[in-house]
Amino acid sequence: MEKLKAKLIELVRDEEGLTTVEYAIAGSLVGLAVVQAFTDLGTQVGTTIYGLEEAIGGGGAPAP
C-alpha cells in the first residue's frame, strides 16, 4: 500500500503531465481563435458580396 501511495504522490508532483495539459489548453484556445476569425471573415465577405450585388442591381437574396 505504501508503494502505491508513493507512486501516486510521485505522479501528482510530476510536472511533465502538467506541461502536456498546458499545451493542450493553449492549442485549443488558438484553434478557437482561428475558427472565430474565419467565421467573422466569412460573414464580412458575405455582407460585402451582397452589398456589391445590390449596388449593381443584382437584387439577389443573401446566401444562408
Give the tens place of pLDDT for each residue, 11-61.
Answer: 777 766 667 888 899 999 999 999 999 999 999 999 999 999 888 986 555
Position 6 scores a pLDDT of 85
Position 62 scores a pLDDT of 58
Position 4 scores a pLDDT of 82
Angstrom distance (rounded) from CA 63 to CA 42: 11
Angstrom distance (rounded) from CA 36 to CA 46: 15
The full set of domain ranges for the chain reads: 19-54
Angstrom distance (rounded) from CA 21 to CA 51: 45
Position 30 scores a pLDDT of 96
Q: What is this structure's pTM?
A: 0.53
Collapsing DSSP to helix, strand or coil, 61 comes out as coil
Q: Considering only CA atoms, which of 38, 39, 58 is closest in space to residue 50?
A: 58
Which grid cell is 34? Answer: 482561428
Position 59 scores a pLDDT of 58
